[in-house]
Structure 1
Amino acid sequence: MDEAVETAMRLFHARGYDAVGVAELGAELGIKPPSFYAAFGSKAGLFERALRRYAAGEANIFARAQADGGGVAEVIERTLMLAARLYPERDGVAGCLVLDGARNSADPEACTLTAALRRAGLAALRDFIATERPERAAALADFVMTAMRGMSAAARDGADEAMLTTFAAMASGAFRRELAAEG
């Protein structure tokens, strides 16, 4: 089951939810549609497992940045720099599955799944920033999330690590200034 979820995660990450069909998933997993539905309930059920696996692992950039400690500005800079390093294409996969896996999807269930994880990520950012700047935490968290979404989309469109690193450095500087700003 773990191997199946890992395979599905790679497919969804590489091509997006809508571009991966049940027949292809079944073929990649070596199972026929009745077994697929018995195991996962639906394509969205497998997508949910893939998203949770992805978000709980190395791809949780903010959690990785937080693990090294430091103040808000330092952790946010580390988060953006790590995204710049991880988002460019590697082995046919670019960007972030949570941020881009169901972008423009016609499936409301897939959109709901990714939106819930994005909201959780935004809440984690906001709560962390609030430890230093509670009155500005919501706006600053929105800034970081927007930067991350932009970096993910840019990587999927072919941006390389050098370009994303330059952007991350600029965004980090802007974040530091806004963190220190009054009001």
Structure 2
Amino acid sequence: MGDYAEAEGIALKRLAEERKAWRKDHPFGFVAKPMKNPDGSLDLMTWNCSIPGKKGTLWEGGLFSLRMYFKPEYPTTPPKCKFEPPLFHPNVFPSGTVCLSLLDEEKHWRPAVTIKQILLGIQDLLDHPNPKDPAQADAYTLYIQNRKEYDTRVKKQADAERGMLRMEIIPKDGDVNCSPEFHQLVTLAVLFLKAVG
């Protein structure tokens, strides 16, 4: 029992450091924050995150929700990262769990890997699937056999996520009386509210 409590203490300390580092410096458009318990305290073992689609890719414009689940053995073991709702992607299991070598203890996981590095790695994976490590049969098959149809599905998915953001009051670039600067300002405000919410 003592080993478990000690391991969890190490995990909580590291996650508190990760939170502090994230709040000080994180990539534009990303969100990563511990969940709140019903009593208002933070659950450092479960984080709500959002990953923006990378500019210039089919994923651009989408903001994809992901939850990170940490075990008491973290950082020796990687977190489980799960898109909620699940994404159509060759390296995302139908459950939403991300299949990425960076998150695999037997491949590239190292205890020094940060939350920032994980989220940037997942963002990169969105547009650069690994066909050697498929997790979702339909997405994998379409990606390999009919890239045009795969791209259409991905674009539709990103557009749907952009639509969800629009429902949160973000005006579309080019809307009447909406300058690009205003669009960016409102987008930042919504992302900020999600981050502190």
TM-score (norm 2): 0.27
Tell me: higher relative CO, structure 1 or 2? Use CA pairs within 8 A at least 6 residues apart.
1
More strand by share: 2
More helix by share: 1
